[in-house]
Structure 1
Amino acid sequence: MAAPMEHLTAAYRLLEAWEIGCTDGVQSAVDRVRRVTELFKEAEHRENADEKIFTLLLKILSRALGEIQAKSSTSDSSPECWLDLSTECFRCLRNSCVQCSRNQNTIGNVGLIEETVSLIKVLSSSSNCSESFLVAFRCGLQFLGNVAGGNQGSQNRIWNHAFPQLFLSCLTHEDEKVATYGSMVLFTCMREDKMADLMVSANLEVAVNVITAYNKWPNAEWLQLIVMDRFLRYPELLKQIYASLSHSDRVVLIELIMAKVSDKSLLSVEELAILQKIAEFLSECFQSQCKAVLKLAGPTHCDEQEGVVVVRLLDILCEMTSDSEHLTCLQSSPGLLDTVVETLRLTHLVGKQSKNIFTSTHTASLGSDLTHAAVGFKAHLIRLIANLCYGNKDNQDKIYELDGIPLILDNCSIDDNNPFLNQWAFYAIRNLTKNNERNQGVIANLERQGLADASALARMGLEVEEHDGKLVLRSVKKM
């Protein structure tokens, strides 16, 4: 059996003969490169590859680049055969890098990364969307991903030559595989020392288009990883991205943050501090956008995107305040509790003015539209009030000052548009009255005046009793 080096030497000589003579046509070169591609599938051949074979592949790619540029500029000739040759070179190089840092370094040293980026830029800027163009584009990106894997030198070379233009071309491309492979390369090269480049206003478009591309291609895991493992570590970058997104893309970003928040794995002190900064930012976003939810009351605006953003912001604030690690920072968030109470007041008023998603509805058949974006919104407002008042005397008193207790009691009836409303109202009253006699007295006086529905209190497990001429609110269940 021939030694690995003998196989490689024979393949190299065949390829060199074509490159020097070019007498057998381009298809012959494709076949000869393919022999090397097959050899590089085996670790013993990859480990015995000599620098000269990579230098030869560089020459072939350089020639292919020139031919593709020339033929693409004329309408009477096609670069198909040269595209096929480029594709096979990329496959060959892709294979050579598998678990072989020596080949990764050699490829970088001979200039193959720069030449590959140049060729891919030509492919990305072409209006030709033939399968040959797409396959070459995809394979080139796969090669860049392999040569960058675990190799900082390759990562730096790719970043220096591909950022931001090539990454933008991939993220905005109509082909899902191009977007996926491009995001793989972006994620691999996006180390901590590169994050500052994204924050430059001229380059922010790359980060924004990661979210836009994920909105379009939600199965592209590399796009998700970029957000989860890169962007969410940098609250200041996240703020810039959010400000530049469409409402639809903001919903996607919020849902990705929700996935991170819902992950119950143990957080480091640094990770917790970062998420708390993000929580404070989301609180500010909710406060500035909350009135947009009223647009969802219109009969033809059930999916109005700015309103949906507000719904998702409320969802994530509820989730964050359910966790003691995030609760404290949001309990002291300036203006948040005031905004939540005011939003509950507004939606309650809108629901009374006309029949809409904020109108309390109860039917035996549960006939409400449970697909409407604002289903559960009022229940979640009360849930957030409950969370913000949990063990917090200042916020309990704030609700008293805002006259929020009668408002909560007026929103505790069974409501098809707000599943679990009673449960959240009970939890809110529990948190508002615990160790707070003034708030207990408010509810007791409302019941005596007939302003609090005794049956509603009963559904929440509460009742009012008189002791020594004084009305006392007590639980018929264990609080």
Structure 2
Amino acid sequence: MAAPMQHMAAVCAEAERCMREALERGEPPGAEEVRRVTELFRQAEYREVADERIFHLILQILSRALQELRPPVTASAPSGGSWWDLSAECFRCLRNACAQCPTNQNTIRNVGLIEKATTLLQGSSTSNSSEESSLVAFRCGLQFLGNVAAGSQASQNSIWKHAFPHLFLNCLAHEDDKVAAYGSMVLYTCLDEDKMADLLDPANLNVALGVITAYRKRSDAEWLHLIVTERFFRCPELVNKMYTSQSHADRLTLLELILSKISEKSLFTEVEMTSMRQIAEFISDCFQKECRAVLKLAAPEDSEEEDSLVVIRLLDLLCEMTSDADHLTCLQCCPGLLETVVDTLRLTHLAGKQSKNVFTSTHSMSLGSDLTHAAVGFKAHLIRLIANLCYKNKENQDKIYQLDGIPLILDNCSIDDNNPFLNQWAIYAIRNLTEHNEKNQELIAGMQHQGLADTSLLESMGLHVEERDGRLLLKSVKKK
């Protein structure tokens, strides 16, 4: 250990001498001396014997850089690029020094380098983004913050104090992919449960909204995905506020992220499960309030209004949630949800009969050939949701009876090119509606005698009616 310590001391002393001489001459010091220390810090044995003097020297350099780069002086000034280059090298040096080294993390924080770095990065983020030297400094500075925050609650709190919300907002809105990625990494690392209250403040909600907007533009951004799925989803109140304040485009992105979380089928902790149930109830409320917007898709111009697309995604999400036992029970009890789904099915079915549109049943493929249309499958998903909500739930089975929903489902069980698997979901719905429910069984059986549904329709669903002891019974068709 003596050899690395002596070598480190010698390198630091030489760097300090050269830089002080340059500063005394009023010139930006060269980055070469700092680069020598940066290279040494790549090795753990040198990080462990780091001389605190080097961190004080870097603090002096960054302080001077702040003065030199303060407006009206910009990165395009003769010495601006040199100061940004030197700042970038200082950030690299600090980044390496912090790697898996709590001692250096603490020293760097205690000498005030986190505050100085975040202040300088604010200037870098607002400088001319086409200036490569300032952009490189910005990237390196964010990497330093990521390393100094790793595993250090005290450093995370310090970064949050000096960087939130402005630096994070700048990173999320930045056009450079690396800046957005590194900034998201720092945000994810610092954002613990105690800091969620800061995001709920209306003055700071733009940070949470900025995460969704940034993810919409960069859907492969892993850190942004983790911020939403592992941080935001633990706070249903934040999800509610975000959705209420978002554009339709960002709402679609948020709903896609919720859908991806539900579709993971991974084991949720009790906290996550409680939060996701509350989010499920919120999704139910949103669907009930917004569902009629989907009727815009029946317009002659066949436009895909964004608010209509949101309704479609809300329905997809409810279908997926009710396919999971952990969410099914709470949604089966949501006031008004089942009634709204039946009402929406009735309205879209009527809209399809009144004029030729995407809700019209077709076998010609004239409409169904466009399987990319957002409304394709919408009625099938409504019936799927009805089936799920009635699964082993006598109260909801009886509600469908009271809402006269069974004839409506039977009237929607023919083959429809605009609704793939409509017939299968109708069969599943009838199965769930009639399970241990004699009233619904008798209703369907009686419909054949009343002429409301012919035998071929029931048989296409795998069912047939037989009379026994004066009663009509609905039974499955036995396969030969």
CA offset at residue 253 of structure 1? 0.8
Distance verdict in 2 for CA 1:3–1:298, change over 3 Å: farther
Letter in 1 for 2:346: R
Are the counterparts in 1 of residues 97 and 104 from structure 2 also a CA contact under 8 Å? yes
State how 1:195-274 maps to structure 2 within 5 Å.
Answer: 195-274=196-275
Aligned length: 478
C-alpha separation between the residues in 2 aligned to 1:456 and 1:109? 78
> Which moves more between the two structures, 179-188 or 433-442?
433-442
Q: Distance in 1 between matches of 2:274 and 2:457?
A: 41
Question: Match of 2:9?
Answer: 9
What does 1:46-65 align with in structure 2 at a 5 Å threshold?
Answer: 46-65=47-66
Residue 346 (str. 1) matches residue 339 (str. 2)? no
Corresponding residue of 1:305 = 306
- Residue in 2 that maps onto 1:96: 97
Equivalent-residue separation in structure 2 for 1:127 and 1:450 (angstroms): 75
Which stretch has the larger CA shift, 120-129 or 95-104? 120-129
Which residue of structure 2 aligns with residue 401 of structure 1?
402
Provide the C-alpha distance between the structure 1 equivalents of 2:333 and 2:241, rounded to a whole number of angstroms.
24
The CA deviation at 1:299 is 5.0
Deviation at 1:340, TM superposition (A): 0.1
Matched ranges for 1:377-388 at <5 A:
377-388=378-389
SS of 1:230's equivalent in the other structure is helix
Once the two structures are superposed, the pairs formed by residues 104-253 of structure 1 within 5 Å of their partners are 104-253=105-254
Contact 1:294 1:347 in 2 (8 A): yes
Q: CA deviation at 1:27?
A: 7.3
Note if contact 2:352-2:359 (Cα within 8 Å) is conserved in structure 1. yes
- In structure 2, runs of 5+ residues without a counterpart are none
CA distance in 2, matches of 1:306, 1:270: 31
Residue 439 of structure 1 pairs with residue 445 of structure 2: no
1:454 partnered with 2:428: no
Calculate the TM-score normalised by the size of structure 1: 0.96
1:326 offset after TM fit, Å? 1.1
Offset of 1:14 from its aligned partner? 2.1
Residue 8 of structure 1: how far off its partner (Å): 1.5
- Name the CA distance, whole Å, in 2 between partners of 1:477 and 1:205: 60
Is the CA contact (8 Å cut-off) linking 1:242 and 1:250 kept in structure 2?
yes
Q: Distance in 1 between matches of 2:352 and 2:212?
A: 34
Partner of 1:291: 292
For structure 1, which segment, 453-462 or 86-95, has the greater mean C-alpha deviation from structure 2 after superposition? 453-462
What do the CA deviations read for 1:268-287 (whole angstroms, capped 9, x no partner)? 33322221111111100110
* Residue identity matched to 2:101: C
Shift of 1:354: 1.6
Distance (Å, rounded) in 1 between the aligned partners of 2:55 and 2:299: 64
Task: Return the offset for 1:300.
Answer: 4.2
SS in structure 2 of the partner of residue 464 of structure 1 = strand
The answer to whether 1:410 aligns with 2:416 is no
- The 3-state SS of whatever aligns with 2:30 is helix
Contact 2:229 2:261 in 1 (8 A): yes
The CA distance in 1 between the partners of 2:59 and 2:301, in whole Å, is 59
Greater mean alpha carbon deviation, residues 53-62 or residues 449-458: 449-458
Secondary structure in structure 2 of the residue aligned to 1:218:
coil
Q: Distance in 1 between matches of 2:51 and 2:77?
A: 40
- Contact map agreement 1:383 1:428 (CA 8 A) in 2: yes
Q: Tell me: CA distance 1:204–1:147, structure 2 relative to 1, closer, same or farther (3 Å).
A: same
8 Å CA contact 2:234–2:271 kept in 1: the answer is: no
- Mapped to 2, the partners of 1:272 and 1:219 lie a distance apart of 26
3-state SS in 2 of match to 1:219: coil
Contact 1:72 1:78 in 2 (8 A): no
Is the CA contact (8 Å cut-off) linking 1:71 and 1:78 kept in structure 2?
A: no
> What is the match of residue 329 of structure 1?
330
Shift of the 477–15 alpha-carbon distance from structure 1 to 2, 3 Å rule, reads: farther
Matched, 1:355 2:356: yes
Secondary structure in structure 1 of the residue aligned to 2:464: strand
Residue 444 of structure 1, CA deviation: 1.8
**Greater Cα shift, 350-359 or 137-146:** 350-359
Report if aligned partners of 1:322, 1:387 keep a CA contact under 8 Å in 2.
yes
Q: In the alignment, is the contact (CA less than 8 A) between 2:233 and 2:272 conserved in 1?
A: no
| Corresponding position of 2:19 | 19
Cα distance in 2 between the residues matched to 1:21 and 1:28: 8
Q: Partners in 1 of 2:341 and 2:478 — Cα distance?
A: 28
Change in CA separation of 1:103 and 1:390 when aligned onto 2, cut-off 3 Å: same
Compute the displacement of 1:90 (Å). Answer: 0.6
User: Which amino acid letter does the alignment assign opposite residue 420 of structure 1?
Assistant: F
SS of residue paired to 2:198: helix
Distance 1:9 1:25, change over 3 A: farther
Residues 314, 122 of structure 1: alpha-carbon distance in 2 compared, 3 angstrom cutoff: same
- The worse-fitting range, judged by mean Cα deviation, of 330-339 and 316-325 is 316-325
The 3-state SS of whatever aligns with 2:135 is helix
**Shift of the alpha carbon at 1:80?**
0.7
- Consecutive unaligned residues of structure 1, counting only runs of 5 or more, are none
Partner Cα separation in structure 2 for residue 419 and residue 259 of structure 1: 22
- What is the identity, as a one-letter code, of the residue corresponding to 1:11? V
In the alignment, is the contact (CA less than 8 A) between 1:173 and 1:179 conserved in 2? Answer: yes
| Partners of 2:302 and 2:174 in 1: CA distance | 31
Matched-pair contact (CA < 8 Å) for 1:148–1:188: yes
- State the Cα distance separating 1:448 from its structure 2 match: 1.6
For 1:392, the equivalent position in structure 2 comes to: 393
- Partner SS state of residue 69, structure 1: coil
> Are residues 461 and 304 of structure 1, via their aligned partners in 2, closer, same or farther at CA, if it must alter by over 3 Å?
same
Aligned counterparts of 1:24 and 1:78: Cα–Cα separation in 2: 14
- Find out whether 1:279 has 2:264 as its counterpart: no
Whether contact under 8 Å (1:302, 1:372) holds in the other structure is no
- Structure 1 pair 163/49, CA: closer, same or farther in 2 (3 Å)? same
